Each structure stands twice: as C-alpha cells, then as structure tokens.
Structure 1
Amino acid sequence: MTDGGKLRARHLIHVPNTNKAGEQVQVEDIARATAAVIVTCELKGYNSVAVPLMGAFDTGIPAEEAARAIHSEFRSHRGERPIRVLFVARNSDEIDVFEMAIEGLS
C-alpha cells in the first residue's frame, strides 16, 4: 500500500495478478487479488475503494471474465467494509464490461 500521491485517492492498494511476472493471468488470480483488496479494506477500515479492470491486458484474460471475477468477489463479501465500491473504467468498452458483470449478462 502506498500514498495516493496526486490521485484523488488517499491510498493505493497494490496487488499482484500472478505469482510470477510475465505469467498468464487466470480468473483465480483476479479473484485472489480482489479478495486481497477486500481484506485490506477491512483491516485498514476503508469505507470505499475504486477497482480497475485487473487482468484484462495483453497477457491477461478476456475483460468479461475479469469483470465477472472482480464483481463476484465483492458480491459474495459479507464483511462491513468496504461500504462503497467504484469500478474504474478507462473507456466505454470497459464500462460496458463492468455493467454486464453487474447485471449478470454475457
């Protein structure tokens, strides 16, 4: 975890997507990374968190699978924190992917 610097966020939670650099990202890696974010929020008392579309890049998995894994982890979480989750998208395609995951489509 680091300071948010010039970002609007106060802190950045850094999580690995794979066990080794350059490895092919799997759905389980995204779920594990998302779970680590949730645990950090619980331990640090963070009420809100913004999560990008992790794992959907050149060596990653399809964006739809990544979005479903991220959303599923938050949906199944029964702890008190985070209260608010923001899914961060870089473009309209990523917005569509997150919306489909939230609505249970695709």
Structure 2
Amino acid sequence: MDLTFAEILAQIPSDDPMNAWWAAAAVLPSDTTVSEFFAKTLKAASDAQRVKNVGVAVGSRVDGYPAPTNGAVTVDATTGLQSFITTYSVRSRVAVTLDVAISPLA
C-alpha cells in the first residue's frame, strides 16, 4: 500500500500554484509507486547536489538534499529478496507563511 498522487494533491491548498502543477502532472508508469518516484527523485537530487558542489566555496554550496541513510540489509525468507530501509529527506529554509522554500547553503 502507498499514497496516491490524488491523496497528496488533496493536501495542497487549491489556490497554491503547486496544486495546479500536480493536477496537470503526467500519470506515473503503472508499475511505479509514489514511494519509488520520490526515492529515485530525491536520490538524483542528492547526487546532483554532490556534483554541483564540487569546487564551490563553503557557504555557497547547496545543502538541501542530504544523502540517503540506509538500514541493514534483510532477506525475505519466502522470496529471497534482499532489501533495506532507506530514508530520504529535504532540508529547506521555509518562510513562516510556507509560501517559499529554498535549499539552505552550507
């Protein structure tokens, strides 16, 4: 079980421009979950941040997309599938009105 984009959209105020963007977003491929979408997107953002920060002075580096943290590998006794829990996050400097969020600098 996972969230749907419709459930996420329902939590974004209807007058927020992000609501219209999500409402117009293309449907994910049928075998892609919301969790997979965000995991792959946030992993790519973390990797892009690492590449972008090469040679950038301290205080000017993008610091909004930490590398994921991974738990121990487990094996499903029935299927043999090896997996681990991974946690992705976003660090943002957010206006108290929640109208604007930007990546903080490190």
TM-score by length of 2: 0.29
TM score, norm. by length of structure 1: 0.29
Higher relative CO (CA 8 A, sep ≥ 6), structure 1 or 2?
1
Larger radius of gyration: 2
The answer to which structure has the higher helix fraction is 1
